[in-house]
Structure 1
Amino acid sequence: TTALAATIAIDSGFPFVKIITSDNMVGYSEAAKCSKIAKVFDDAYKSTQSIIVLDDLERLLEYVPIGPRFSNAVLQTLLVLVKRMPPPGRKLFVVGTTSNGHVLSSMDLSSAFQVMLTVPALREADIKS
């Protein structure tokens, strides 16, 4: 799903495309992650058309099934920012990827998105050359 979301975003022709991944935030505190995510949304609002891909949401949330444990600060940041309407004259398309949709439902994050699609795993024959 990550590759599909990234391809759609890049091929969109939108002037602002940003992919937020946990890989870029290794070692960040919760506050630093929230700040970085908020900055991406603020930057997106400056463009007339923007796409933000929130890649692997459960990793962004530091979700661990044992416990369960997750970052409530990051969850609240995402809930506020994904639900917020962009300024007048601006369009923002937010895509989130996950391999644990039920986890996002239990955190009520799935309600922040208007559409949920299940994407089957790619087969060898599906891969472009």
Structure 2
Amino acid sequence: MPTLWQSKELSFEAIGQELQALLESLTSMSELIRQIGEDQTLATVKEVIEVFAENSTKIREEIVSLTGLMIHKLQSMMQHFEGRNKMKLGPQKDILRMLHEFASDIDESLVRGKERSERARKQVANVSWFSPFI
């Protein structure tokens, strides 16, 4: 639930664009590594770029995997709601908006519950001084 609020800002288009930019950067780094070749004066720079490129590639692969998982789960959720409502629910934004509203309702309920609890606790505290006389 804590990440549900952030899901409202989620855009698979933006993720795709960022992944494409990362891929282009990795391609540029690979080209730079190739251009450096065996030049010993740039060996340290080449090593740093290789390590960075390797780490970046792993991160990109993780992001691609997680994005695929998110898309799969979102599609499953949309199919679930479509089946239950016997109508198409619409794009991911509708699902995420609905989940956001649900989380907001839960938060409001928790706040109201805490307020009631606090009022009840205070009422008991106010009445408790009568206990010895009852």
TM-score (norm 1): 0.22
Structure label with greater radius of gyration: 2
Task: Name the one with the larger strand percent.
Answer: 1
- Select the structure with the greater relative contact order (CA < 8 A; seq sep ≥ 6): 2
Task: Name the one with the larger helix percent.
Answer: 2
TM-score (norm 2): 0.22
